Structures are given as structure tokens and as C-alpha cells.
Amino acid sequence: MAASKKKKTSLTVKAKSKNGFYRCGLFFPHEGVEVELTSEQLERIKVEPNLIIEP
């Protein structure tokens, strides 16, 4: 039986702070970084007021 793989979403996330910001065990710089997030991580990132999500 194959292990189920979690679907990941790729997007760019920026920290509002010039110093960057950590969430979900990941560092997000102010300049932004492209990341692949699981649906669980995405839900936490979406409600984080210190981060900006760009598609």
C-alpha cells in the first residue's frame, strides 16, 4: 500500500518585519521567499498577521 502524500501549495511569503519572521518552523525574510506548504501550514500562515502571502 502506497503512503499518501500531502498536497503542497507553492507561493511567495514575505515578513512585514525588516528582520524577518519565523512561523511553522520556517523563516520568512522581508524580501520574500517561495515556499511549498502543506495545507496545515498554509492555514496557519494565512491567519498570521505578521506575514504577507503572494500567489
Would you place residue 35 in the very low, low, confident or very high pLDDT band (cuts 50, 70, 90)?
Answer: very high
The answer for residues whose C-beta is within 8 angstroms of residue 43's C-beta and 6 or more apart is: none
Strands (DSSP E) found in 1-55: 8-15, 21-23, 26-28, 33-38, 51-54
14, 31 contact by CB (below 8 A): yes
38, 8 contact by CB (below 8 A): yes
pLDDT mean across residues, the chain: 90
Would you place residue 9 in the very low, low, confident or very high pLDDT band (cuts 50, 70, 90)?
Answer: confident
Average pLDDT over residues 2-28: 87
